Amino acid sequence: MAMGHPNCIVQIVGYKNAGKTTTISKLIAALEQRNLTSTVIKHHGHSSVPPKARYDSERFITAGAKASFVEGGGEVSIQLKKEMSLTELLHLQSLVMTVDVVFVEGFKDTILPNIVLLRDQGDLSLMNRAQTIGIVQRERFDVDRKGTAVFLRNEEEAWISYFVNQIVEMRNEHVQNHL
């Protein structure tokens, strides 16, 4: 594995309340069981600033600091006052640690291998994406994607197993191509 670079990047695509965070969390846990490491890069698409986990860090940023790094109890919180592209975020992530998989959420205009989460037929506009690994639907309805695996949300064991196997295959392919 190249130092600092992930072996696999997978985007989770879906509209609000489609289950993106839950899906990523379940895939992370399943990959962890296979001793594979992962990180998440999420674009907070709302105009408001996301809630801060660390009071002191927020105070430093409010006072004018461009960045705040807080370490304690084996955890590090990094807060930057800067808009960053996905490329910049991936580079920053690669400087922090080497992982097997990076999950990306919220960068809808980026073309990456992706898992599409559909709440209903109103979400079908998300199907115009290239590199779709598979689809998870809340309820069964027709999607015109021949050759793409389609699961119902409640078929959790099946879609987790399928996506983890696909991710492991992509990771192994990447490793082989970079030996």
pTM: 0.86
Spell out the domains of the chain, with CATH numbers in brackets: 8-46+98-177 (3.40.50.300)
Q: Which amino acid is at 96?
A: V
Beta strands in the chain (DSSP E): 8-13, 38-42, 67-72, 75-80, 101-105, 114-118, 132-137, 149-152
In the chain, % of residues over pLDDT 90: 49
The CA-CA-CA angle for residues 113, 5, 89, to 5°, reads 75
User: Phi/psi of residue 52, each to 5°?
Assistant: -95, 135
Residues 6+ apart with CB under 8 A from 28: 38, 40, 103
Q: For position 1, what pLDDT does the model report?
A: 38
Residue 4 gets the label, from left (phi > 0), alpha (psi -120 to 50) or beta, of left
CB 41 within 8 A of CB 90: yes
pLDDT at position 3 over 60: no
Residues 6+ apart with CB under 8 A from 76: 69, 70
pLDDT in tens, 33-79: 999 999 999 887 654 445 545 577 778 888 888 888 877 788 888 88
- pLDDT level of residue 9 (50, 70, 90 thresholds): very high
pLDDT at position 167 over 60: yes
Helix 156-177 and helix 20-33, axial crossing angle in degrees, nearest 10: 60
